[in-house]
Amino acid sequence: MSLIQEICRDLKEKSNPAEIKKSQRFFKEKIKTRGLRSANVMTIAKKYFPRAKLMSKQELFILCEELLMSGYNEQASIAFYFLFKLKNNHEKIDFNTFEKWLKKYVDNWGKCDDFCTHALGHFILTFPEYIPELNKWTKSSNRWMRRASAVALIYSVRRKNNFTHTINIANLLLRDGDDLVQKGYGWLLKEASKNYPKEVFSYVLKNKDVMPRTALRYAIEKLPPKWKKEAMKK
């Protein structure tokens, strides 16, 4: 039995039909899930990682794509876990593969955020010359590409990097009409506010008349109460 067959067997064995409907409540779009809790998925991922890390990068990428092709959230989580654990093996050329997977296999906010705040986020921090590609994603017709353009910078800004690019992405997405994109760049600003509170507060005050309220609420969540009250004034 191949590694992917073993992984899928374990996931099927632990499938929880009762949790499938509960999981769907967190998503607007129809999702494919086996109803496993995140902790159970990670237990399986950790079980098989010792074998995955012995693979060549080409073999690993084939495995990850096979997992992503299934469409299941759990398989995607395992693929992204493997990618992040082996993040230091990533090279510039891998961007093309990551972008392809984002376009082809990421179809809900859970997959988008898992990929972007871990493996892809680390890649962007390591190779910031690819940030201009994120700028292009802000114009995509694919909502997950637009959300990814912001969320992929969270890994950086948490580590006090790429704040200027964070503001630039927020500007590019500022008037986006999709609430899931608004939440994405609002979340990015919220994370930035932990290290740059004054700068984020200033940005919000400057743009609050055109910033969607959804994005604004996310952005100010970690700011002092007095600042939050000022930002919410109409």
The pLDDT tens digits of the residues spanning 95-146 come to: 999 999 999 999 999 999 999 999 999 999 999 999 999 999 999 999 999 9
Answer yes or no: is pLDDT of 147 > 80: yes
Beta partners for residue 32, in sequence order: 72
- Name residues whose C-beta falls within 8 Å of residue 183's C-beta, 6 or more positions apart in sequence: 109, 147, 214, 215, 218
Mean pLDDT confidence for 88-96: 97
Average pLDDT value over all residues in the chain? 96
Quote the pTM value.
0.95
Domain(s) labelled CATH 1.25.10.90 in the chain stretch across 1-89, 94-234
Mean pLDDT confidence for 11-30: 86
Helix/strand number for the chain, H first, E second:
16, 0
The second-level CATH assignment, the architecture, of 1-89 is: Alpha Horseshoe (1.25)
> CATH assignment of 94-234, given 3.40.1360.10, 1.25.10.90, 1.10.10.10, 3.20.20.80?
1.25.10.90
Least trusted range by pLDDT, from 13-17, 135-139, 156-160, 225-229: 13-17
Length of the chain measured in residues:
234
Least trusted range by pLDDT, from 28-37, 120-129, 173-182: 28-37
Q: What pLDDT shows up at residue 202?
A: 98
Element spanning 212, H or E: none
